[in-house]
A and B are shown apart, each in its own frame.
Chain A
Amino acid sequence: MLDYVPLNLPSPVVWATPFFGFLVITEMLYSKFGKSKTANYEAKDSFASLMMGVGNQIIGFATASLFFAITVFAYKHRMFEIGTGPIVFIVCFFLEDLSFYWFHRISHESRYFWASHIIHHSSQHYNLSTALRQTWTGTLSGGFIFWLPLAFLGFHPAMIGFFSGLSLVYQFWIHTEAIDKMPKWFEAILNTPSHHRVHHAVNPDYLDANYAGVFIIWDKIFGTYVDENENNKPKYGVVTNIATFNPLRIAFHEWFGIFKDITTAKPNHIIGYLFGPPGWSPDGSRKTSKIIKQERIDNKTQT
């Protein structure tokens, strides 16, 4: 087992919290009194989102030691001695973003991980407060496994945690309808409000797209990129929207659904209900995004 030397780096999310508050208030004012008067804020919805964010932070503090202990264990068994120099920092920034892409993609493609991630998509509104609607069960359900390969490679756990936090801070500002499009060069490389609106939309053409954290290039490389079409305005939420602002219900409703399904399922269907795509059912009575997209293609062909 190799040595572990602590590395002190700030928590980007904690540092950014005052800016989150300031920007949410600014966007609220803009939506209420701005020229466009886009009524995209709903106080109860924002209340629920902020409670989910607060809960995420509290549970995050409580479970940080679990994440840290496992990541440090992986780091102590690292394959390479790469240190913590400037180039390592830069490489870690990109690889952390690549890890996020796969974590995020699997969080949409497997119901087990979707049960935690659905919280972030459960609002039918799209504004800066939606960015704060975060999971309470992400760490406990093992979402951090997607970052463990970085620690095995030799990236310091504190560095991974730092860039993971930085990525969350970056992703805050893209949850808005107040910005239409960024300059072309920016849209080509980085994740933007336009790209992320597509990701949060339930329009069949937009399902399962734009999983990027900071760099949109990953979606372009792995074939999941979809451009926002001005004639196809995004409708936000999930395919079967929830009807509650209660944070506890928001946090656990999909877990409850999984529990209900697997306790009444035949043994050979349990894996499908648990790890299959959201909407999977043995008799096809429910709809996965793949089915919804196919129906959309079929409808287009017929017309």
Chain B
Amino acid sequence: MLSQILFVLGAASAVIGFGFLIGLSQNITIDNELARQAAYNYDSNIIFDKLIISDDKTAALTLSNKGILLFKAIGSRVSVRIISKNNIEKHGEVILFALHDLGFPDFKTRFHNNNNIETLFEEPNLGGAANA
């Protein structure tokens, strides 16, 4: 039994090593268009207000229902969650997104040179356009 486990483990290690070796690691940067596409793929009925790009890996979109659509780059894909403002804490320029979701770990991010941080805590602009 142990030899079978080692055999499977060895085969898996070889494959993983090979993947990294030929450069299959990809990372994307979230931009306005990507976030917009992800939002519509997530829910075509979402009415959103303002998009705030954080670092390359994070963006937040304020929604007309006072929620926030959070985008996080994961390798070459984007994961999206709707979160409430209760799950966001502001510590100076650092924002903590606490989702309490094992599949979408809590994380902190810094909104570099971005004056729009306060937007996350503002009341929604119902007439807002779907742009950044």
Q: A43 contacts B20, CB within 8 Å? A: yes
A39-B19 Cα distance, complex, nearest whole Å: 12
A17-B105 Cα distance, complex, nearest whole Å: 32
Q: B44 contacts A249, CB within 8 Å? A: no
Q: Of residues A17, A39, A246, which shows the largest number of chain B Cβ atoms within 10 Å of its Cβ?
A: A17
Write the chain A residue with the least CB distance to B44: A299
Q: A25 contacts B9, CB within 8 Å? A: no
- A249 CB contacts on chain B under 8 angstroms: 102-103, 105
Q: A32 contacts B12, CB within 8 Å? A: no
Looking at chain B, what size class is its interface with the partner chain?
35 or more
- Comparing B48-56, B75-83, B86-94, B115-123, the segment that makes contact with chain A is B75-83
Write the chain B residue with the least CB distance to A47: B16
* With contact pairs A21-B14, A24-B15, A299-B44 given, residues A256 and B102 touching in the complex (Cβ less than 8 Å): yes
* With contact pairs A21-B12, A241-B80, A243-B72 given, residues A46 and B1 touching in the complex (Cβ less than 8 Å): no
Write the chain A residue with the least CB distance to B75: A42
- A50 CB contacts on chain B under 8 angstroms: 12, 15-16
A107-B37 Cα distance, complex, nearest whole Å: 30
Write the chain A residue with the least CB distance to B7: A17
* With contact pairs A249-B105, A256-B102 given, residues A14 and B4 touching in the complex (Cβ less than 8 Å): yes
Q: How many residue pairs bridge A and B at CB < 8 Å?
A: 118
Q: B24 contacts A28, CB within 8 Å? A: yes
Q: Of residues A31, A42, A53, which shows the largest number of chain B Cβ atoms within 10 Å of its Cβ?
A: A42
Q: B26 contacts A39, CB within 8 Å? A: yes
Q: Measuring CB to CB, which residues of chain B are less than 8 angstroms from any residue of chain A?
A: 1, 4-5, 7-9, 11-12, 14-16, 18-20, 22-26, 41, 44-45, 72, 74-77, 79-81, 100-105
Q: Measuring CB to CB, which residues of chain A are less than 8 angstroms from any residue of chain B?
A: 14, 17-18, 20-21, 24-25, 28-29, 31-32, 39, 41-47, 50-51, 53-54, 57-58, 61, 122, 124-125, 129, 132, 235, 237, 240-246, 249-250, 252-254, 256-257, 260, 295, 299
